[in-house]
Structure 1
């Protein structure tokens, strides 16, 4: 992972909201400091876990501006600039560059967008004119477009297209992307150690919001090829990370972060906070993570 610009743990940071559903920028700044103290080396601002699709363009732009200013060069910054209109993606990407982002994460065209490879290549070539490194976002179960090994090879012929984040949740398909020899970032929480062992170049990890120190310890063990230690750490993380992938992902991350002391309030409507019984299930699966993260902070 050492030679890739965004190697290691890139936290898909949850966007904090106040009781009125507005972005709580003060809390964002405090949380960033906590995550930096926990050893997080990269952040994804306006991520899927950060509720990108439920932020206005203006809110997302301000989130990226405030977040980048708070990080202030102490970690790598990836900004999600996905949008329906290509022109909006380019504008958002230029704004992210002005704010000091190191790269952007961009979904392929979605909601009845082009599904042919050339149409997708043309889209990312247009985004590349904004001048920042691009990480494609492969989540076919949501978008309806899959970045295949052959398409990845084509996309990486665009100088600014540097990697794909794979959130398909299918380790076999992710491994086929990794075998191209091109940078692949894992975005599926339940696959983290297996993806690292298979040779992924880095992680974009939403579940790390509630256990940043433990997640960072796992990444460090894997980078040193200490697989027995990585497996030991993963045995603590695995129950909760597997549950996240079964549904109510964003709501569960917000709830779990509250339990471990990295709270961001509740998710924004139309998502609802988890019901009390679900929160108790999370509490049980978090187990010793609650005390581990508290003792370390």
Structure 2
């Protein structure tokens, strides 16, 4: 993972909200500093875990601009630039570039958009015209577009297309993408140790909001090929990462982060507060991570 610009742990950071559901910029800055202190390699601002789909354009821009300013070169900055209209994606990418982001993460056309390879390539070609590194996104269960090894090879002919984030949850499919020799970023929390062993180029990890210290440790262990340490650290992380992936992902990340002390308030509507049973399940799954993250 060393030679890739976005190697290591890129945190899909939550967007903190106050009691009135507005973005809490002060807490946002505090969280960035805390994550930097434990060694996070990069940030995705206005991420899916950070409720990108439920932010106004102005709110998304504020997170990217303020986040890049706070990071100030101490970590990589990736801005989520996904939108329904190609022109909006281009504009968001241009804004991210002007704000000092190192790259953008962009979903392929979605919500009943075109899914053929030519259309997907043309879409990313237009975004590439801005001149900022692009991380594509393979999440076929959500958008209906699958980035195959063949399509990835074609997309990487664009100098700006640097990698694909694979959040399919399909380990076999991800290994096939990795087998192209191109950069593949794992985005499926339960696959972390397996993806690291398979040779992924980096991670974009929403669940790392909950336990950044331990998540950084597992990445460092993998980089140093200390696979016994990877296995022991994953024993701590697996229960909570598996529970997140079972459902209620975003509100569960918010709630579990509150428990471990990295909270950003509650997830914004349309998400409802989690049930008492779900909160209890999160506490049980977190286990010793609560104390370990407080060290």
**TM-score by structure 2 length?**
0.99
Does 2:123 correspond to 1:138? no
Cα displacement string for residues 114-143 of structure 1 (whole angstroms, at most 9, x for unaligned residues)? 111000000000000111000001100000
Partner of 2:228: 228
Structure 1 contact 7–202 (Cα < 8 Å) conserved: yes
Aligned residues: 295
Q: How far off its partner does 1:273 sit?
A: 2.4
Cα displacement string for residues 215-247 of structure 1 (whole angstroms, at most 9, x for unaligned residues)? 000000000011001000000000110111110
Partner of 2:32: 32
Q: Distance in 1 between matches of 2:46 and 2:282?
A: 24
Partner of 1:16: 16
Q: Distance in 2 between matches of 1:271 and 1:168?
A: 23
Does 2:101 correspond to 1:117? no
Q: Distance in 2 between matches of 1:23 and 1:284?
A: 29
Partner of 2:194: 194
Partner of 1:252: 252
Partner of 2:72: 72
Q: Distance in 1 between matches of 2:72 and 2:24?
A: 19
3-state SS, counterpart of residue 164 of structure 2: strand
Aligned-residue Cα RMSD (Å) equals 0.6
3-state SS, counterpart of residue 163 of structure 2: strand
Partner of 2:166: 166
Partner of 1:181: 181
Structure 1 contact 104–132 (Cα < 8 Å) conserved: yes
Q: Distance in 2 between matches of 1:61 and 1:129?
A: 20
Q: Distance in 2 between matches of 1:20 and 1:129?
A: 39
Q: Can you give the 5+ residue segments of structure 2 that lack an aligned partner in the other structure?
A: none
Structure 1 contact 7–201 (Cα < 8 Å) conserved: yes
Partner of 1:100: 100
Q: Can you give the 5+ residue segments of structure 1 that lack an aligned partner in the other structure?
A: none
Q: Distance in 2 between matches of 1:10 and 1:102?
A: 12
Cα displacement string for residues 185-223 of structure 1 (whole angstroms, at most 9, x for unaligned residues)? 000000000001001000000000010000000000000
Does 2:277 correspond to 1:288? no
Structure 1 contact 255–273 (Cα < 8 Å) conserved: no
Q: Distance in 1 between matches of 2:24 and 2:276?
A: 24
Cα displacement string for residues 169-197 of structure 1 (whole angstroms, at most 9, x for unaligned residues)? 00000000000000000000000000010
Q: Distance in 2 between matches of 1:191 and 1:273?
A: 27
Partner of 2:43: 43
Structure 1 contact 175–198 (Cα < 8 Å) conserved: yes
Q: How far off its partner does 1:62 sit?
A: 1.0
Q: How far off its partner does 1:275 sit?
A: 1.3
3-state SS, counterpart of residue 79 of structure 1: strand
Q: Distance in 2 between matches of 1:103 and 1:174?
A: 22
3-state SS, counterpart of residue 22 of structure 1: coil
